[in-house]
Structure 1
Amino acid sequence: MPSPQDSKESRDLANLILDVLDEHSAQEIIEIDIRGKSSISDYMIVASGRSNRHVGALSDYLIKSLKNTGKKNIGIEGLKSCDWVLIDVGDVIVHLFRPEVRAFYNIEKIWSMPSPLGLNEKIQYDPENTET
């Protein structure tokens, strides 16, 4: 369970990222609170750039801003093609997409789905029920 201090740091980091993306004209910026759904991160931020160049520029601005605040060990994937760039800052994961790629993967929908059953929950199988 994250401490209140960790939660504040995560929230502050997410706010910084949201501000940078907004300042540099990212489109359709959304934030997904994944606390309790994932142990790898607290927040996921998804945004689009108008083109590969815009996605690359957004990535560069964001990485520079994060480094200027002292963030180290920033995981970056996808900068070569800039169709989909993932920036992992630990408590916040950022996905930057070209609009067509974002529509194809639709990760917002994946993360808004109900959580799978917990280990203590059971599914009752009824062989009489033929509905699927």
Structure 2
Amino acid sequence: MAHTPLTSEALLERILSSLTDDKAEDVVQIDLRGKSSIGDHMVIASGRSTRQVSAMAEKLTDRIKQEFGMTARVEGKDAGDWVVIDTGDVIVHIFRPEVREFYQLEKMWLPQAATGASAR
């Protein structure tokens, strides 16, 4: 089977479409180029339940393997509260909403204005 050429942009596009297909909520993409050596992009999304979070992670890793011929590193899929998928170029975090609210990863990576936070 022919694989799609692997660029960080192609990978990001496929990840975003996979999450959309699986009805992920509040999907945020963060450009890490020039900010961090962990990857080029970070994607943060929410699922409504542990079952949905785990299912989205599983489908996403399957799609990446089939379309790009690569195996992503996955942590947290069994618990389903917070799954991290590391493809090398794109880091994906899928949370249950309460867990996402607790960790607030967006605030660590996005400028204050982009998160809707006001400077009081």
When the two structures are superposed, what TM-score results if normalisation uses the length of structure 1? Answer: 0.77
Q: Is the 8 A contact 2:64 2:71 kept in 1?
A: no
2:106 equivalent in structure 1: 108
2:61 equivalent in structure 1: 63
Query: SS at the partner of 2:68?
Result: coil
1:125 equivalent in structure 2: none
Q: What root-mean-square deviation, in Å, do the aligned CA atoms of Structure 1 and Structure 2 show?
A: 1.5
Query: SS at the partner of 2:84?
Result: strand
1:45 equivalent among 33, 43, 46: 43
Q: Is the 8 A contact 2:26 2:45 kept in 1?
A: yes
- Max Rg structure: 1
Residue range with higher mean Cα deviation, 68-77 or 82-91: 68-77
By how many angstroms is 1:79 displaced?
Answer: 1.0
Query: SS at the partner of 1:93?
Result: strand
Unmatched 5+ stretches in structure 1: 1-7, 115-132
By how many angstroms is 1:38 displaced?
Answer: 0.5
Whole-Å Cα distance in 1 between the matches of residues 12 and 83 of structure 2? Answer: 17
Whole-Å Cα distance in 1 between the matches of residues 102 and 46 of structure 2? Answer: 13
Query: SS at the partner of 2:69?
Result: coil
Amino acid at match of 1:24: D
Q: Give the share of equivalent positions with the same residue, in percent.
A: 47
Whole-Å Cα distance in 1 between the matches of residues 68 and 9 of structure 2? Answer: 16
- CA deviations on 1:27-74 (whole Å, 9 max, x unpaired) are 000100011111120000000000000001101110110010133241
Moved segments of 4+, more than 2 Å: 70-73
Aligned residues: 107
When the two structures are superposed, what TM-score results if normalisation uses the length of structure 2? Answer: 0.85
Query: SS at the partner of 1:12?
Result: helix
Whole-Å Cα distance in 2 between the matches of residues 99 and 51 of structure 1? Answer: 8
1:4 equivalent in structure 2: none
By how many angstroms is 1:113 displaced?
Answer: 4.8
